[in-house]
Structure 1
């Protein structure tokens, strides 16, 4: 008999089975943590907008009237959190808050 090196069909099927089981275990965990990741991204965005409000206030000696003022003055590119569903708004005292949109 020849001494051929390589995998048999059964060995390849076992490897594919192990990879499939690992994927079945990991994919639900990744999707479960997706909302947590979006929440942390939105919290970071709110902090960034708050710092941009402070920059605007330093330069103009007044708080912006709305979030649109920050976009117009090129302090921000967008008013939405990374999840795409939540927007931010600015209060009269310059505080930034999240506003969920349906």
Structure 2
């Protein structure tokens, strides 16, 4: 028999076991950080929309009633009607807030 060098089946299974354990440890952490990132993105989006509300008020001497008013006048892109985490936003008396109870 020739002396062939290579990995045995046991060695390969041990490597796959270690990789699987590492993945099981890291995947929950990644999803937790993803939610945190989306929430921070929502906070930044609300601030950006608030600045657009102020610009709208300066030009039109009135606050917009809805986000659609900002979109129709060109202050926001049509795709920018929700936070990155999917929550809706509302405008009440010129104040932008995240709507409670939406997912």
Range class of TM-score, shorter chain: 0.7 to 0.9
Alignment of 1:1-102 (within 5 A): 2-76=2-76, 77=78, 78-84=80-86, 86-92=87-93, 94-102=94-102
| Segment of structure 1 superposing worse, 47-56 or 31-40 | 31-40
The DSSP-based 3-state class of the residue aligned with 2:88 is strand
**Count of residue pairs the alignment pairs up:** 100
List runs of 5+ in structure 1 lacking aligned partners. none
Structure 1 Cα separation of the partners of residues 97 and 40 of structure 2? 14
Q: CA RMSD in A?
A: 2.0
List runs of 5+ in structure 2 lacking aligned partners. none
**Do the aligned partners of 1:87 and 1:101 also contact (CA within 8 Å) in 2?**
no
**Do the aligned partners of 1:90 and 1:96 also contact (CA within 8 Å) in 2?**
yes
